[in-house]
C-alpha cells in the first residue's frame, strides 16, 4: 500500500534531504527540506483536511510542479481520500468539465487557475503558494486552517486507508469529449512503486531534478513516489529552459526524461564538440569505451560501475555539459531511436528505457540496471516482476497486439463500465500497441494500432517505424507521419516536419532561408530516405511546420489534433 511505503521511507531517511526548492525563481539558490520536515508538512496538511471533514472525499490538484503540489498529493492519500491530479495545460472549460466529472469537493490550485476555480463553484479551494523560505517552516508549509495539535497529526498518521478502495483518478486526455478517468487504489499505486524498485536501482545517495509534469503517472509514481521511497533527493526544476542549470545545481545523478530531452543531451554534447573542434577526439574516446564495453560483456557480469568509472575519466568535459554527476537517465513515454540511447551510453551514462501506461502502471517493462542493454537498445526491456505480457494473433514476424495482465491494473474507467469492458479480455488489458517478444522475453514496440496506416492494397504501415529512421537526420527536429487521402481516394504516407533551423542554415549557408529553400533541403533528406524503403512506405506528401506541434504533457505529439 502506498501510504505504508511512504511512511517507512520518511522514517528511514528522516535526517536526509528529501526536497530542494527555491524561494524566488530560477535565480535563487536551492534550499533543503529534510524527510522529517516533509513528513511533518504532509501530516499537518492531512490533519487539517481531516478537521475539515475531507476523509474519503475527492480532491483535485492543478498547478506547475512544486513542493506544495507534492504535499497536497500525499496528504490527500494519507487520509484515505481520492486525489485527482489535473493537467496543468488545461484550459478553463476543460478544468470545469473534469472537476464536475470527477465529482470533486475541493481543489488545490495555483494562482493562474483562480478564475476557473471560482467559476467551478467549489466551496473548498486552497491556493498553492509559490514561496519558500528557511524560516522554520512557516512559509514552507501549506496551511489551510489552524495549526493542528500533535495528537491530530498522529491521528492522520494512524489512518489505514482501505487498500482496495479508490485512491486516485487520472485523466488520460485533456479534451472534454474524450477524457477518461483512470481509477487506481492504494494497493495498485503501491505495487507499482515496488515494481519500479525492482527494475531501477535508485540509491539513497542519488539526487534528481523533477522536470516532467507531476500530474502525469510517469512523474508522480516514478519521479516522486518511487524515488522518494528509496531516499532520492528531489530538486524542483525551474522548467526546461533551465534544465542543465538545475542539473548542475542539484548535482543530479539520475534523471527521468522523455526522448526529446535525451535527444537534447546528445545534441548538446556533439554540438559542443563541433564548435570546439574536438569531434575527432570524442569519436576516438567513444571507440575506446565501446571496445571496453564489449570486452566486459564477455564476462557476463554487471559492468555498469566499470563503464561509469571509465566514462568519468574519458569524458570529463562532455559530462560537465550535463552537470558532471549523471550516472543514469531513464527515458519513456514515447518512441525513441535506439541509436540515441547508445549515443548517450557511449560517454558512460547508463540509459534505461521503459514502457508503461496510465491504465496499468507507470512501468510495465524496463531494461534492467544489472544487464547491459547496448545490443538491445531498441527494446523496452523485460516485463516487471508483477506483469505478464502476451502477443495476440502474431503475424509471420511475431508482431501482434500486446496484452498485459497483472495486479497493477486499474479499477476501471470512471463511470464508464462500457469502456472498461472494451479494453479487458478475460483479465488481459488490450494496450492498443503492437510489438513482439524475443526469445529472452524482451519486449519491442513497433507502433500504435490507432496510428497504423492501411493502404488500399492492404499493406500495414506503422508511422513510428518510419519516424525513428527519419529522426536520425540532423535537419529534422520534430516530425509526424500519418495517412491522408488524395483526390482519387488513395492513401498517401504524409509527413510534417519542424526542422532544426540551426542545421538548415548550416546546410544552406544562408542566415535567413525562405520557406521554399527550407522545403527543398528537407525534401532532399526525404528523397534519400525514400530510396531505402519499399514503395508503399515512401513519403508522398511533405509539410514544413513553423508552429509547435500540439503535444501531451510528456511531449508526445497528438496526431489527430495536428493533421492539416
Task: Residue 136: give its domain's CATH number.
Answer: 3.40.50.12780
Residues 531 and 484 reside in one and the same domain: yes
Tens of pLDDT, residues 300-313: 666 778 888 888 89
Tens of pLDDT, residues 435-484: 999 999 999 988 776 677 776 665 677 787 788 888 888 888 888 888 88
Residues 442 and 311 reside in one and the same domain: yes
Last residue of a domain, one of 171, 206, 228: 228
Q: What is the DSSP string of 345-402?
A: HTTT-EEEEEEEETTTEEEEEE--TTS--GGGTT--BEEPTT-EEEEES--TTS-EEE
Asked if residue 205 is part of any domain, the answer here is no
Q: Is the dihedral of CA 358, 364, 367, 370 positive or negative?
A: positive
Q: How confident is residue 337, by pLDDT bands cut at 50, 70 and 90?
A: confident
Last residue of a domain, one of 400, 423, 449: 449
How large is the average pLDDT for residues 528-547?
86
Whole-number Å distance between alpha carbons of 430 and 433 = 8
Residues 429 and 544 reside in one and the same domain: no
Helix (H) or strand (E) holding 3: helix 2-12
Asked if residue 208 is part of any domain, the answer here is no
For residue 428, the model assigns a pLDDT of 96
For residue 177, the model assigns a pLDDT of 45
Last residue of a domain, one of 432, 449, 466: 449
Asked if residue 201 is part of any domain, the answer here is no
* Ranges of H-type helices in 480-533: 501-508, 515-530
- Model-level pTM? 0.82
Number of separate domains in the chain = 3
Residues 536 and 404 reside in one and the same domain: no
Whole-number Å distance between alpha carbons of 208 and 214 = 14
pLDDT tops 50 at residue 560? yes
Whole-number Å distance between alpha carbons of 484 and 563 = 9
For residue 175, the model assigns a pLDDT of 35
Tens of pLDDT, residues 341-356: 999 999 999 999 999 9
Asked if residue 29 is part of any domain, the answer here is no
Contact 25/130 with Cβ under 8 angstroms? no
pLDDT tops 60 at residue 131? no
Least confident of 8-12, 45-49, 284-288, 509-513: 509-513
Q: Which domain holds residue 493?
A: 452-562
Residues 329 and 418 reside in one and the same domain: yes
Residues 374 and 285 reside in one and the same domain: yes
Residues 397 and 533 reside in one and the same domain: no
Residues 221 and 295 reside in one and the same domain: no
- Would you call 455 exposed, middle or buried from its count of C-beta atoms within 10 A (0-12, 13-18, 19+)? middle
Asked if residue 240 is part of any domain, the answer here is no
Residues 445 and 456 reside in one and the same domain: no
Task: Residue 489: give its domain's CATH number.
Answer: 3.30.300.30
Asked if residue 204 is part of any domain, the answer here is no
3-state secondary structure of 251: coil
Least confident of 79-88, 245-254, 393-402: 393-402
Nearest 5°: the CA angle 551, 248, 136 is 95
Residues 441 and 466 reside in one and the same domain: no
Asked if residue 108 is part of any domain, the answer here is yes
Least confident of 10-19, 159-168, 487-496, 504-513: 487-496
How large is the average pLDDT for residues 18-37?
88
Asked if residue 243 is part of any domain, the answer here is no
For residue 83, the model assigns a pLDDT of 98
% of the chain residues with pLDDT over 70 = 94
Residues 144 and 222 reside in one and the same domain: yes
Residues 516 and 558 reside in one and the same domain: yes
Amino acid at each position: 500500500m502506498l501510504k505504508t511505503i511512504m511512511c517507512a521511507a520518511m522514517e528511514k531517511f528522516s535526517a536526509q534531504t528529501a526536497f530542494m526548492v527555491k524561494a524566488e525563481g530560477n535565480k535563487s539558490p536551492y534550499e533543503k527540506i529534510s524527510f522529517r520536515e516533509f513528513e511533518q508538512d504532509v501530516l499537518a496538511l492531512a490533519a487539517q483536511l481531516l478537521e475539515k471533514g475531507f476523509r474519503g472525499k475527492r480532491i483535485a490538484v492543478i498547478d506547475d510542479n512544486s513542493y506544495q503540489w507534492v504535499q497536497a498529493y500525499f496528504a490527500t492519500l494519507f487520509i484515505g481520500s481520492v486525489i485527482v491530479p489535473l493537467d496543468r495545460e488545461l484550459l478553463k472549460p476543460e478544468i470545469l468539465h473534469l472537476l464536475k466529472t470527477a465529482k470533486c469537493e475541493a481543489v488545490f490550485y495555483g494562482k493562474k487557475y483562480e478564475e476557473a476555480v471560482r467559476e467551478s463553484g467549489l466551496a473548498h479551494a486552497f491556493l498553492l503558494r509559490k514561496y519558500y523560505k528557511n524560516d522554520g517552516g512557516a512559509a514552507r508549509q501549506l496551511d489551510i486552517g489552524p495549526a493542528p495539535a500533535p495528537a491530530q497529526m498522529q491521528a492522520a498518521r494512524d489512518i489505514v486507508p482501505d487498500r482496495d478502495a479508490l485512491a486516485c483518478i487520472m485523466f488520460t486526455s485533456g479534451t472534454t469529449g474524450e477524457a477518461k478517468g483512470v481509477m487506481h487504489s492504494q494497493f495498485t499505486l503501491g505495487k507499482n512503486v515496488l515494481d519500479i524498485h525492482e527494475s531501477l536501482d535508485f540509491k539513497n545517495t542519488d539526487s534528481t531534478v523533477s522536470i516532467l509534469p507531476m500530474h502525469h503517472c510517469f512523474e508522480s509514481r516514478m519521479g516522486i513516489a518511487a524515488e522518494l521511497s528509496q531516499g532520492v533527493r528531489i530538486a524542483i526544476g525551474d522548467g526546461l529552459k533551465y534544465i542543465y542549470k538545475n542539473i548542475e545545481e542539484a548535482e543530479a545523478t539520475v534523471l527521468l526524461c522523455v526522448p526529446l530531452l535525451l535527444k537534447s543531451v546528445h545534441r548538446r554534447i556533439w554540438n559542443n564538440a563541433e564548435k570546439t573542434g574536438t569531434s575527432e577526439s570524442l569519436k576516438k574516446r567513444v571507440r575506446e569505451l565501446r571496445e571496453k564495453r564489449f570486452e566486459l560483456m564477455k564476462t557476463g557480469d554487471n559492468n555498469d560501475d566499470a563503464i561509469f568509472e571509465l566514462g568519468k575519466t574519458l569524458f570529463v568535459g562532455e559530462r560537465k555539459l550535463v552537470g558532471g554527476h549523471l550516472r543514469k537517465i531513464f527515458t519513456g513515454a514515447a518512441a525513441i531511436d535506439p541509436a540515441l540511447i547508445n549515443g548517450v551510453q557511449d560517454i558512460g551514462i547508463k540509459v534505461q528505457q521503459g514502457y508503461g501506461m496510465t491504465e496499468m502502471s507507470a512501468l510495465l517493462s524496463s531494461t534492467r540496471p544489472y544487464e547491459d542493454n547496448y545490443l538491445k537498445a531498441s527494446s523496452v526491456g523485460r516485463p516487471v516482476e508483477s506483469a505478464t505480457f502476451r502477443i495476440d494473433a502474431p503475424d509471420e514476424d511475431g508482431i501482434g497486439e500486446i496484452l498485459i495482465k497483472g495486479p497493477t491494473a486499474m479499477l476501471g474507467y470512471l463511470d464508464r463500465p462500457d469502456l472498461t469492458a472494451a479494453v479487458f479480455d478475460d483479465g488481459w488489458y488490450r494496450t492498443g500497441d503492437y510489438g513482439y517478444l524475443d526469445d529472452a522475453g524482451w519486449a519491442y514496440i513497433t507502433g500504435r494500432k490507432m496510428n497504423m496506416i492501411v493502404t488500399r492494397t492492404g499493406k500495414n504501415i506503422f508511422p513510428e517505424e518510419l519516424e525513428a529512421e527519419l529522426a536520425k537526420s540532423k535537419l529534422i527536429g520534430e516530425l509526424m507521419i500519418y495517412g491522408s487521402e488524395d483526390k482519387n481516394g488513395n492513401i498517401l504516407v504524409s509527413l510534417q516536419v519542424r526542422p532544426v533551423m540551426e542545421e538548415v542554415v548550416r546546410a544552406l549557408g544562408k542566415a535567413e532561408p525562405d520557406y521554399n529553400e527550407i522545403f527543398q533541403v528537407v525534401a532532399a533528406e526525404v528523397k534519400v530516405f525514400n530510396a531505402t524503403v519499399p514503395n508503399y512506405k515512401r513519403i508522398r506528401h511533405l509539410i514544413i511546420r513553423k508552429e509547435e506541434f500540439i503535444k501531451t504533457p510528456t511531449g508526445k505529439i497528438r496526431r489527430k489534433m495536428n493533421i492539416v
